[in-house]
C-alpha cells in the first residue's frame, strides 16, 4: 500500500514538473515577429487588421494612438490600468501628424462631468485620437492593458503572445459611425512613427526590430498580411521576398513628424520623363509655420492624388503612349477622367498591357518604383472600360503627391523606423504570388 502511494506521489511530482516546464517555456517565448491578417472592404475601400483575433481595427498610417470604442459594448478588463496625466505613458502620447499636432506638449488632464467609465475619468491622460478615413479627431482617455497578438516565423502563424501594459485610448463611437469604417471595426490601429503608436510600442514590449511590413490584398475575398518586427516574408508557393526590397529614405517633415514622407525626384511614362515643376516635389515651408509639397504615403485614400499640373502631365503622356499601342479612348467615368476601351488592351501577368509609370525616388544609385497595369489602371463598367487610377488632389490637400492604396495593393511595403527608410517590392504578381498567398494555417 505504501509502495502504491509512493508511486502515485512520484507520478504527481513528474506531472507537476512537466507542467512547470511547459509554462516556463511559454513564458520565455520571445517572437521575432508578430502577425495580423488584413481585410479589404469593397464598400468603403478601406483596410482593417485583426489584432489577436479579437479586435478589428482600421489600418491607419496617420493615426498615432491605438484606440478602441469602449462604449459599445462597454470595455472591461481585469488588467487595464489608467494612465495618469503627467505620467510616463502620458508624456509619451505627444503626437503630430496631418490631423493632429499638439506642438510637442504632453496631453492634458481630463475632468469628468459624468459617472466614471473607461471614457470618463478625472485626472486621466486625455490624448487626441483620429480616424484618417474621415479626417476627424477627438479626445480620449488613455489606459494600458494586456493584448494578445499572433506571433509568426514569417511563413505561418505561431503561438499567441500576450503584450502587457500596451497603451491604448478609450473613446466613444464618434469616429466609427455613419458607415465611415468597414463593418465590425471597433477602433484604429495606429501605425504612425510616433513613440506611442503600435509599431514602436510592440517593438519595445517584446524586443522586436522597429519595423513593420504590410501587403494589401486587391480583393475582399482573400486576406493580406501585416508583420511587426523582422522575419522572412514567405508567400505560397514558398517564395521568400525578404531580400527583394528596394529602399528609399523616409523623410521627416518638421510640421508633422509622425507621418510617412518619401522623396519623388521625377516621374516617367515608358521612359519619357514628365515635364513638371520639381519644386512641387519638395517639402517646404508655406510661410505660416506649416509645410506644403512633397509626397506622403496613406492607407486610407484609395487612389494616388497628384497636384493638378503633375496629373495633367501624367494623363497626357499616358494617353499618348496608350494610343500608340492601339489602346482606344473611352468616355470618362467619374471620378476618373482618363479612360480607355478595355477590349483594345491586352492582359498580362502584371495587369493590362498599358504604358509603365516609373516614380524615381531618392536613394543611393537611383531607386525606381515601377507601376504596371495592375496598379496603374482600374476596371470599371463591368470591365468594359479601364481608367488611369490617379486623381487630381483634393481641394484642401497640400501635398503634391498622396500615394494611395490601389498603387500599393499586391506589393510589399516595409516601414523601417530604426533606419528611417521605406522598403518596397513593387508587385508580387510577376512571381506568381499575391498578397492573399500568405499561409495562415498553423503548422
CATH code, domain carrying 195: 2.40.70.10
- Residue 317 and residue 327 in contact, taking contact as beta carbons nearer than 8 Å: no
Residue 275 and residue 422 in one domain: yes
Measured distance CA(245)–CA(324) in Å, rounded: 33
Residue 23 forms part of a structural domain:
no
Instruction: Output the pLDDT for position 294.
Output: 97
Same domain as 257, residue 217: no
ω before 383 within 30° of 0 (cis)? no
| Residue 381 φ/ψ region, left for φ over 0, alpha for ψ in the -120 to 50 degree band, beta for the rest | left
Shared domain for 37 and 128, answered yes or no, is yes
Mean pLDDT over 20-46 rounds to 77
Number of Cβ atoms within 10 Å of the Cβ of 310? 22
Are 254 and 210 in the same domain?
Answer: no
For residue 221, is it within any domain? yes
Residue 408 lies in a domain: yes
Query: Is 72 a member of any domain?
Result: yes
Q: What value does the mean pLDDT of the chain take?
A: 91
Do residues 180 and 314 both lie within one domain? no
Name the grid cell of 289. 509655420
Name the percent of the chain lying above pLDDT 70: 93
Are 175 and 292 contained in the same domain? no
The answer to whether residue 5 scores a pLDDT higher than 60 is: no
Cα 149 to Cα 156: distance, rounded to the nearest angstrom: 14
- Could you give the C-alpha distances from 52 to 49, 164, 270, in angstroms and in order? 9, 13, 44
Same domain, 293 and 217: no
Q: Is residue 11 part of a domain?
A: no
- C-beta of residue 165 within 8 angstroms of C-beta of residue 205: yes
Same domain, 248 and 216: no
Cell numbers at 346, concatenated:
491586352
**201/259 same-domain check:** no
Boundary residue ending a domain (174, 204, 230)? 230
Last-in-domain residue among 185, 204, 230: 230
End-to-end CA distance of the chain: 46
> Is residue 49 located within the same domain as residue 118?
yes
Note whether residue 252 is domain-resident.
yes
Q: Which of 23-32, 70-79, 105-114, 182-191 is least confident?
A: 23-32
For residue 28, tell me if it sits in a domain: no
| Assigned C-alpha cell, 195 | 513613440
> Cell numbers at residue 417, please?
523606423
Confidence of residue 364 (pLDDT cuts 50, 70, 90): confident
Cβ proximity of 354 and 345 under 8 Å: yes
Domain boundary among 230, 261, 293: 230
Parent domain of 303:
242-427
If one counts the domains in the chain, the total is: 2
Sign for the pseudo-dihedral over CA of 307, 312, 318, 319? positive
Do 97 and 205 sit in the same domain of this protein? yes
For range 416-428, the mean pLDDT = 98
* Residues 256 and 375 both lie in one domain: yes
- For residue 119, being part of any structural domain is answered with yes
Whether the predicted pLDDT of 386 surpasses 50: yes
Amino acid at each position: 500500500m505504501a509502495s502504491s502511494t509512493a508511486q502515485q506521489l512520484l507520478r504527481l511530482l513528474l506531472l507537476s514538473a512537466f507542467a512547470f516546464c511547459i509554462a516556463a517555456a511559454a513564458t520565455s517565448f520571445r517572437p521575432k515577429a508578430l502577425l495580423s491578417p488584413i481585410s479589404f472592404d469593397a464598400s468603403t475601400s478601406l483596410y482593417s487588421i485583426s489584432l489577436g483575433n479579437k479586435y478589428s481595427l482600421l489600418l491607419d498610417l496617420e493615426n498615432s494612438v491605438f484606440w478602441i470604442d469602449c462604449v459599445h459594448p462597454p470595455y472591461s478588463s481585469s488588467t487595464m490600468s489608467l494612465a495618469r496625466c503627467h505620467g510616463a505613458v502620458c508624456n509619451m502620447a505627444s503626437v503630430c501628424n496631418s490631423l493632429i499636432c499638439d506642438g510637442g506638449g504632453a496631453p492634458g488632464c481630463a475632468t469628468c462631468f459624468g459617472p466614471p467609465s473607461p471614457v470618463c475619468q478625472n485626472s486621466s491622460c486625455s490624448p487626441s485620437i483620429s480616424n484618417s478615413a474621415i479626417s476627424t479627431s477627438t479626445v480620449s482617455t488613455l489606459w494600458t492593458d494586456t493584448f494578445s497578438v499572433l506571433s509568426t516565423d514569417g511563413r505561418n502563424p505561431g503561438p499567441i503572445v500576450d503584450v502587457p501594459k500596451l497603451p491604448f485610448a478609450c473613446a466613444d463611437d464618434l469616429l466609427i459611425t455613419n458607415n465611415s469604417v468597414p463593418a465590425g471595426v471597433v477602433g484604429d490601429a495606429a501605425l504612425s512613427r510616433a513613440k506611442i503608436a503600435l509599431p514602436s510600442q510592440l517593438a519595445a514590449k517584446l524586443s522586436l526590430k522597429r519595423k513593420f511590413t504590410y501587403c494589401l490584398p486587391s480583393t475582399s475575398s482573400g486576406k493580406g498580411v501585416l508583420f511587426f518586427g523582422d522575419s522572412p516574408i514567405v508567400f505560397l508557393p514558398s517564395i521568400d521576398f525578404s531580400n527583394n526590397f528596394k529602399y528609399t529614405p523616409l523623410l521627416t517633415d518638421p510640421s508633422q513628424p509622425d507621418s510617412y514622407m518619401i522623396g519623388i525626384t521625377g516621374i516617367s511614362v515608358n521612359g519619357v520623363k514628365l515635364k513638371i515643376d520639381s519644386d512641387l516635389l519638395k517639402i517646404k515651408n508655406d510661410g505660416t509655420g506649416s509645410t506644403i509639397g512633397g509626397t506622403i504615403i496613406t492607407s486610407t485614400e484609395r487612389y494616388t492624388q497628384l497636384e493638378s499640373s503633375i496629373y495633367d502631365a501624367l494623363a497626357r503622356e499616358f494617353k499618348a503612349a496608350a494610343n500608340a499601342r492601339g489602346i482606344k479612348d473611352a468616355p470618362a467615368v467619374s471620378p476618373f477622367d482618363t479612360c480607355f476601351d478595355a477590349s483594345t488592351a491586352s492582359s498580362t501577368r502584371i495587369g493590362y498591357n498599358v504604358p509603365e509609370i516609373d516614380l524615381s525616388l531618392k536613394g543611393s544609385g537611383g531607386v525606381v518604383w515601377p507601376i504596371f497595369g495592375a496598379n496603374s489602371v482600374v476596371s470599371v463598367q463591368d470591365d468594359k472600360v479601364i481608367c488611369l487610377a490617379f486623381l487630381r488632389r483634393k481641394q484642401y490637400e497640400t501635398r503634391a503627391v498622396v500615394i494611395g492604396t490601389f498603387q500599393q495593393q499586391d506589393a510589399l511595403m516595409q516601414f523601417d523606423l530604426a533606419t528611417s527608410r521605406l522598403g518596397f517590392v513593387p508587385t508580387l504578381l510577376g512571381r506568381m504570388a499575391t498578397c492573399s498567398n500568405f499561409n495562415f494555417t498553423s503548422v
